Chains A and B, each alone.
Chain A
Amino acid sequence: MTITITPADWLSFFTHFLALSLLSVGGAITTAPDMHRFLVDRQGWLTDPQFSASIAIAQAAPGPNVLFVALLGWNVGLNAGGLPTALLGMAVAMVAIMVPSTTLTYVTARWSHANRELRSVRAFKLGMTPIVIALLIATGWILATGSRYDAARDWRLWLVAIVSTLLVWRTRIHLLWLLGAGAVLGWMGWV
């Protein structure tokens, strides 16, 4: 895929992701639907397979999954030219998605830590606890059931997810073994 991106386009990419940064409650992945709408549907800067692959690679790779945004920018840049634009795309996307949320979190964290004995702060943290735990379990569920960007999933992938959950919850098996097993199962076409 080759596209042309003007400086004005880069700017709109940047500002769009700046806004998404502020909306990315629960993580950048929660804004992925909107990123898809912007990059794939509206601007046509990315293909669907490139989009899904970016998310999958970032998830499989070590490190925070937010790095899928770096890959989105990288792929957009590659589509627009070569290595230099790929690096630019990566920088634009990552800086935009990180700066607003990071600043906000830092400022809030300082205040919250300084005031941690306040009843309201303790009530917030304790009150959010069941929600937060449920959200984690729900995120795993959603990732297992698949997003609309992936091909249809079936019960075998489900089983892999459930078994992984049980093994990580109840045993001390190293996570890499489980990921390796998942990779092998997928490679062999069994899931």
Chain B
Amino acid sequence: MSSSPEAAATTSIEQRPQPHSLTDLFLSFTFLALQGFGGVLAVVQRELVEKKRWLTRDEFVEEWAVAQIMPGPNVVNLALMLGARYFGLRGAMAALAGMLTFPLLVVLCLALVYAQYADNLNVAGALRGMGAVAAGLITATGMKLLGAIRKNPLGVPLCIVFGVASFAGIALLRWPLAWVLLGLGGLSCVLTYRKMGRTGA
């Protein structure tokens, strides 16, 4: 381990884990996507943050914020952003191709198989059960990211207020997503900006 803080800082910047090449991007995201039964998000968080460590948890949440505010599949947006960060346009395309190509083939095969058994009650039941588990996977991923609010300039109480309000708006009141993102999101960002100014963060 390095002795001085400066040496430690430079080491962490240079030796930070990252994808080696376009092929690495394509294969990593393919492998990641193919594990993503029920949706890729839970796998993405675990792979990128906990295993590969290409992103810290806080970075993940921040990048996810951009991926989510932009239209389009959030997880695909995230892959695009990561790919672009390391290898520009070709990186973005490699990551995108990784996320979509093989999974698309798998989905088509499953659809063909399903077509044979569409009237089977058991199969319909199995799909329903998997749907319920998939819902749980997504919620759990949100829960795993909760720790990120600890260091948030807004402070934990205010984060909770915004979080609960957003949840209520989306899940309970079924407001259009745009209202919540622009309204609550806009307010939250403005407050954060002002708090950052005050503390000089």
Q: Would B75 and A25 count as touching, CB distance under 8 A?
A: no
Q: Would A136 and B145 count as touching, CB distance under 8 A?
A: yes
Main secondary structure of the interface of B (DSSP, over half): helix
Instruction: Tell me whether A26 is interfacial, beta carbon within 8 Å.
Output: yes
Interface size class of B (residues with CB under 8 A): 35 or more
Contact of A137 among B35, B65, B76, B142 (CB under 8 A): B142
* B68 contact set on A, CB distance < 8 A: 25-26, 128, 132, 135
Q: Would A136 and B141 count as touching, CB distance under 8 A?
A: yes
Asked, given contacts A134-B142, A186-B125, whether A157 binds B163 with beta carbons under 8 Å apart, the answer is no
The number of chain A residues with a CB under 8 A from chain B is 94
Q: Would A179 and B69 count as touching, CB distance under 8 A?
A: no
* CB proximity to B under 8 Å, residues A108-147: 108-110, 112-113, 119-120, 122-144
| Cα–Cα, bound, A104→B41 (Å) | 21
Instruction: Tell me whether B67 is interfacial, beta carbon within 8 Å.
Output: yes
Q: Footprint of A on B, CB under 8 Å?
A: 33-43, 61-77, 80-81, 84-85, 89, 92, 96, 99-100, 102-104, 106-108, 110-111, 114, 118, 121-146, 148-149, 152-154, 158-160, 162-167, 170-171, 177-178, 180-181, 184-185, 188-193, 196-197
Top 7 A-B pairs, shortest CB-CB distance:
A63-B103, A186-B129, A164-B136, A101-B72, A140-B139, A136-B142, A127-B189
Q: List 12 A-B contacts (CB under 8 A).
A: A62-B40, A63-B40, A65-B40, A126-B62, A131-B184, A143-B135, A165-B137, A165-B143, A166-B136, A183-B127, A186-B126, A186-B130
Additional pairs, 9, CB under 8 Å, beyond known A56-B127, A129-B152, A131-B188:
A21-B71, A27-B72, A64-B39, A101-B70, A126-B196, A139-B142, A158-B132, A162-B136, A164-B137
